[in-house]
Amino acid sequence: MNLKKIVFISVFFLTIVAKAQQVINIEGKRYEDPKLGWQGNVELNFNLVQIQNQIIQAGNRFSIVHHDSLKTLLFMNDINYVRANGQNLLNNGFQHMRLVYHKDSIVKPEAYIQTQFNQQLAIDFRFIIGGGFRFRVIKRANFFCYTGTSMMYEYEKNPNIDPHNNIRNNTYLSLDFKQIKQIPLSLVVYYQPNIINTEEYRIATDVRLLFLNDSKFTFKVDVQYVYDTYPPPGIQKDFYNISNSIVYSF
């Protein structure tokens, strides 16, 4: 197995609120041109702050992909943990598996399954299973454009209310700009309406900017914004997250 390891060191947070994982950005975690066979990456982070209060932040994430001439299998895990003065403040994570068939280079059928939890967003547990199609609009050396749509079943448990389930459409647009080689930019927008009640929907935007150099270090800025018309009780409709990090690859 050709497994590339990456040690992820979080430098600082501009905002530590509910991490914008109401909608998971899978597009930002795909492998654009994976090699045949197995490959992947592992990221670990740990921060300890002790002034008047003690804050511990830790997490791990990894993605593993198997690619052959007919299909790609992708598995991802992402868990984050924040504790201050002995109390849990921000615990969230997800696990995602996706199967993509790419016999046709323009239209690709895909199916996926996902579990998720997020303490700050009052998501005790969410289960998603679905499938649809991904379409290649433009693919050039310095610019990619993809769109996709799928139908998914969603089961969710929130504090103090009965579990509920929905059928949603999941439509997205993914853009990658690489005109400036050392500063690639990506943008992903998701729209997830409830098929039964179209007034209930989510919109999520993720913008990622990388600053590359000739060394093994990369500086990453990630901005996420989510708007949910029907969030769990006690949760505001819109929120954002801004994170900055250094990635060391070897």
Q: Beta-strand (E) ranges in the chain?
A: 6-13, 37-50, 54-67, 71-84, 87-101, 107-118, 123-139, 143-157, 164-177, 185-193, 201-211, 217-228, 238-249
* Least confident interval from 19-28, 40-49, 108-117, 123-132: 19-28
Q: How many domains does the chain have?
A: 1
Residue 19 is part of a domain; what is its CATH number? 2.40.160.40
- Assess if residue 146 is contained within a domain: yes
Structure tokens at 50: 């002790």
- Assess if residue 1 is contained within a domain: no
**pLDDT in the model for residue 215:** 67
In sequence order, the 6+-apart residues with CB closer than 8 A to the CB of 45 are 8, 9, 10, 57, 58, 59, 60, 245
pLDDT digits (tens, 9 = 90+) for 154-178: 999 999 899 999 999 999 999 998 8
| 80-89 average pLDDT score | 78
- Assess if residue 82 is contained within a domain: yes
**pLDDT in the model for residue 11:** 38
Structure tokens at 199: 């007034």
Q: Is pLDDT of 128 > 90?
A: yes
**pLDDT in the model for residue 250:** 56
CA dist 106 and 101 (Å) reads: 11
- Note down the domain range covering 50: 6-249
- Assess if residue 142 is contained within a domain: yes
- Assess if residue 133 is contained within a domain: yes
**pLDDT in the model for residue 2:** 39
Q: Is pLDDT of 34 > 90?
A: no
- Assess if residue 98 is contained within a domain: yes
Average per-residue pLDDT for the chain:
83
- Assess if residue 143 is contained within a domain: yes
- Assess if residue 211 is contained within a domain: yes
pLDDT category at 13 given cuts 50, 70, 90 is very low
pTM: 0.79
